């Protein structure tokens, strides 16, 4: 179905044609009798409303390479076989994923999520897996002996040999691969050539099969055209998820993490706009990408209808090595970093800040705000190691009444500490919004209600500046 599923703009019923014959059709077309191999004129007679598309080889290869990037989530060793086949070498990844069955289930779910249909099989040799998948066997053959039995029952049309070879086999009365295997090899090589017999030997595991490995591109840039113009940002989530699935596999294959990426939106007037996604920490998790994308799309106002999406990986870092934990670990894709980036996506990056220490003794200037960094070392509270500081600092000092030489706030205050002199700030005296030159004596005090306060005295009197928790 790749010739049809690789096309962005199509309606049902639809079919792809080549040289005047139907190559494949969607379920609605198949229900009317439009089957592969049918002449186009006959197909239109059976289904007058059939939407017909010419085959686009470039789109098919692009879709196949996108799937290959996504398949990097399962294995770094894979092969692209035109026109519509992928070979994944999973022998070295079985323990990582929990067996071949788990990998097959994950591949099926991933293809379905991206609206791709597939035939599959798993076998000890690449050619055997390919042939069994073409035959629609959909089974896992862990042993070579069971694989050979299954191969023997396949028709000779499965390998895709030329029509000349198939005609000769039909003339010899050989319709199954097992029948062909039982014939004397020397005689068959004289009549059929070396190609079919070598293919059989490779499928049966008697000869090695050299394959050209898929090379993950140096830079990630993938484009997808939408089935229809999209006017609401939330409707871009599905197409964006397909792009981010390919990005996650590409990152895994290249052993990289991404800090930021850009989703370019191409509008119907040929203009474009960018949606930049930044992560609290380098990431490579497809689920995490999809969550953050939905958060951004929920706030995005489109400038116009969107016809295509292009995803670019902007900031990349190498993936560090890691050892498995001895004890149970948190669920992947959860935690502080994920929470922070989702809140930033909803409220804006400036809405989430971290308080840190600033090298200034004046309380108004001792705290600074910065972007959150979950990997940064924790910053000590301002003034830690010098004297007690309150958790709650008032926006501006509040003047206190003085009676009998003692400050009052909901009763007379009892001073619990010696004076701590904080002064200076001459360098920003007179600047707009600056604290300026200060000379204050700070005390920890307590009122009759038991509340602990941070008060100071200067040339103008007593002031309340903070409350202890």
pLDDT at position 427: 78
pLDDT at position 392: 84
The number of residues in the chain equals 469
pLDDT averaged over every residue in the chain: 86
Phi, psi of 298 (to 5 degrees): -65, -20
Same topology, domains 2-55 and 221-319+334-346? Answer is: no
Top mean-pLDDT range of 54-58, 119-123, 287-291: 119-123
- The confidence band for 337, taking pLDDT boundaries of 50, 70 and 90, is confident
Domain ranges of the chain: 2-55, 59-203, 221-319+334-346, 388-467
Average pLDDT over residues 72-87: 91
Which letter does DSSP use for residue 268 in this model? Answer: T
Phi, psi of 160 (to 5 degrees): 80, 30
Sign of CA dihedral 298, 304, 307, 311: negative
- Compute the distance between CA of residue 138 and CA of residue 121 in angstroms, rounded to an integer: 5
pLDDT at position 368: 79
Average pLDDT over residues 11-23: 88
User: CB–CB of 464/453 below 8 Å?
Assistant: yes
User: CB–CB of 155/175 below 8 Å?
Assistant: yes
User: CB–CB of 450/467 below 8 Å?
Assistant: no
pLDDT at position 251: 93
- Compute the distance between CA of residue 56 and CA of residue 63 in angstroms, rounded to an integer: 11
- The confidence band for 384, taking pLDDT boundaries of 50, 70 and 90, is very low
In our burial notation (b when 16+ CB lie closer than 10 A, e otherwise), range 290-318 reads bebbbbbbeebebeeebbbbbbbbeebee
User: CB–CB of 459/399 below 8 Å?
Assistant: no
Query: What are the tokens at 184?
Result: 């004397």
pLDDT at position 383: 44
- Compute the distance between CA of residue 98 and CA of residue 118 in angstroms, rounded to an integer: 22
From the list 1, 227, 246, the residue with the least C-alpha distance to 116 is 1
pLDDT per residue over 414-468, tens digit each? 999 888 888 877 777 767 666 777 888 999 999 999 999 999 999 889 999 999 9
- Compute the distance between CA of residue 429 and CA of residue 421 in angstroms, rounded to an integer: 19
Alpha helices in 348-438 (DSSP H): none
Average pLDDT over residues 31-44: 91
Position 150 pLDDT exceeds 90: yes
Average pLDDT over residues 306-335: 77
Contacts of 401 by beta carbon, 8 Å cutoff, 6+ apart: 407, 408, 409, 462
pLDDT at position 381: 47
Percent of the chain with pLDDT over 70: 92
pLDDT at position 164: 92
pLDDT at position 385: 45
Q: How is domain 2-55 classified at the architecture level of CATH?
A: 3-Layer(aba) Sandwich (3.40)
pLDDT at position 439: 86
CATH superfamily of 221-319+334-346: DNA polymerase, Y-family, little finger domain (3.30.1490.100)
């Amino acid at each position: 179905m790749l010739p049809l599923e690789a096309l962005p703009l199509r309606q049902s019923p639809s079919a792809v044609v080549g040289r005047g014959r139907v190559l494949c059709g969607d379920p609605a077309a198949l229900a009317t009798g439009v089957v592969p191999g049918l002449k186009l004129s006959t197909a239109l007679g059976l289904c007058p409303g059939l939407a017909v598309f010419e085959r686009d080889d470039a789109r098919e290869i692009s879709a196949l390479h996108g799937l290959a990037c996504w398949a990097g989530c399962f294995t770094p060793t894979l092969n692209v076989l035109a026109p519509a086949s992928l070979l994944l070498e999973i022998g070295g990844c079985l323990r990582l994923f929990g067996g071949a069955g788990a990998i097959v289930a994950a591949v099926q779910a991933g293809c379905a999520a991206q609206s791709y249909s597939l035939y599959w099989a798993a076998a000890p040799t690449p050619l055997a897996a390919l042939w069994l998948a073409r035959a629609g066997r959909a089974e896992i053959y862990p042993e070579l002996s069971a694989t050979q039995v299954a191969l023997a029952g396949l028709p000779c049309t499965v390998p895709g040999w030329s029509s000349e070879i198939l005609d000769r086999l039909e003339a010899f009365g050989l319709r199954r691969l097992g029948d062909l295997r039982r014939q004397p090899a020397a005689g068959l090589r004289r009549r059929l050539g070396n190609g079919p017999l070598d293919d059989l030997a490779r499928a049966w595991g008697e000869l090695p099969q050299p394959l050209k490995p898929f090379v993950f591109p140096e830079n990630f840039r993938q484009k997808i055209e939408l089935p229809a113009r999209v006017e609401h940002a939330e409707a871009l989530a599905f197409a964006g998820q397909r792009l981010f699935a390919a990005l996650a596999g590409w990152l895994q294959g290249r052993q990289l993490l991404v800090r930021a990426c850009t989703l370019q939106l191409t509008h119907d007037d040929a203009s474009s706009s960018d949606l930049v996604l930044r992560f609290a920490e380098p990431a490579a998790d497809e689920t995490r990408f999809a969550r953050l994308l939905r958060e951004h799309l929920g706030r995005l106002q489109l400038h116009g209808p969107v016809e295509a999406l292009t995803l670019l990986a902007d900031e990349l870092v190498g993936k560090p090595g890691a050892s498995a934990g001895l004890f149970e670990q948190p669920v992947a894709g959860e935690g502080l970093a994920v929470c922070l980036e989702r809140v930033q996506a909803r409220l804006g990056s400036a809405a989430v800040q971290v308080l840190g220490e600033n090298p200034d003794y004046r309380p108004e200037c001792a705290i600074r705000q910065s972007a959150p960094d979950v990997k940064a070392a924790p910053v000590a509270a301002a003034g830690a190691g010098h004297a007690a500081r309150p958790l709650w600092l008032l926006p501006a000092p509040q003047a206190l009444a003085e009676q009998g030489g003692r400050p009052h706030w909901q009763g007379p205050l009892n001073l619990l500490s010696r004076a701590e002199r904080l002064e200076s700030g001459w360098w920003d005296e007179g600047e707009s919004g600056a604290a300026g030159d200060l000379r204050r004596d700070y005390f920890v005090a307590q009122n009759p209600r038991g509340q602990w306060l941070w008060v100071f005295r200067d040339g103008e009197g007593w002031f309340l500046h903070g409350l202890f928790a």
